């Protein structure tokens, strides 16, 4: 989770790195960046570099959204609640945003989100409200990374593929309804014109807002 003040910097391509204390090994090249209480973008890690604090440059600090190395070191100390020494190891992770989560594709079944992205977001933000079926499908997508493979592993054939697709679409709608994925009113209205599925969500959200 990045600081709220860094959200716009990331979306505008100003902040293109994050620097962590210690030797950090990213689990995946593809990451979802969270900030301000919600996911904001998907990014690809382009470079991972290990340095001593004394080797950090003004460019490193700038890429991480800071005005100077001194400002960066101060922020690291506050974040990790420890004194940062010049011989400490840090990890410089360079990344590139490949999808802003405010960019909604009205012509795509999942509005421009990959099934794996929906599964990741559901596992983080909807955990307590997932049914057993939804949990199984989310876990299968996370493990096998495709609808095809997840369907075969869960049901033994591709004949049940529509079940997986339906659940992913329902979870996407729930993420939008909860405000995890932010979609403006006009785009929701256009979605409602495209299918009865999205029309139900739009009507529900408009009704709830009117009551609130």
pLDDT at 211 over 70: no
Closest Cα to residue 178, out of 140, 98, 137, 124? Answer: 124
pLDDT tens column, 161-204? 999 999 999 999 999 999 999 998 899 899 899 889 999 888 88
What pLDDT is attached to residue 143? 97
What pLDDT is attached to residue 201? 87
Pick 137 or 36 by higher pLDDT.
137
Pick 43 or 204 by higher pLDDT.
43
Ordered structural domains, the chain, with CATH: 4-100 (3.10.400.10), 115-211 (no CATH)
pLDDT tens column, 84-117? 999 999 999 999 999 999 999 999 999 999 999 9
- For the stretch 50-53, contacts whose Cβ atoms lie closer than 8 Å and that sit 24 or more positions apart, written own/partner, are 50/23, 50/89, 50/90, 50/91, 50/92, 51/89, 51/90, 51/92, 52/86, 52/87, 52/88, 52/89, 52/90, 53/84, 53/85, 53/86, 53/87, 53/88, 53/90
| Mean pLDDT over the full length of the chain | 94
pLDDT tens column, 20-30? 999 999 999 99
Pick 201 or 143 by higher pLDDT.
143
Percent of the chain surpassing pLDDT 70: 98
Percent of the chain surpassing pLDDT 90: 84
3-state secondary structure of 51: strand
């Amino acid at each position: 989770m990045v600081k709220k003040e860094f959200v716009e910097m990331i979306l505008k391509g100003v902040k293109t790195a994050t620097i962590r204390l210690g030797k950090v090994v990213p689990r995946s090249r593809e990451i979802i960046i969270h900030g301000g209480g919600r996911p904001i973008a998907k990014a690809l890690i382009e470079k991972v570099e290990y340095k001593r604090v004394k080797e950090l440059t003004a460019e490193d600090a700038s890429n991480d959204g800071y005005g100077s190395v001194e400002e960066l070191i101060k922020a690291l100390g506050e974040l990790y609640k420890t004194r940062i020494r010049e011989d400490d190891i840090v990890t410089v992770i360079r990344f590139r945003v490949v999808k802003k989560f405010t960019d909604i594709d009205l012509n795509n079944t999942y509005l421009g989100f990959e099934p794996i992205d929906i599964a990741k977001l559901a596992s983080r933000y909807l955990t307590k409200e997932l049914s057993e079926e939804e949990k199984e499908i989310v876990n299968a997508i996370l493990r096998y990374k495709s609808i095809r493979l997840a369907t075969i592993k869960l049901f033994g054939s591709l004949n049940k593929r529509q079940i997986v697709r339906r659940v992913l679409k329902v979870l996407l709608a729930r993420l939008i309804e909860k405000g995890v994925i932010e979609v403006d009113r006009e785009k929701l209205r256009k979605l409602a014109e495209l299918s009865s599925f999205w029309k139900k969500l739009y009507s529900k959200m408009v009704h709830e807002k009117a009551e609130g």
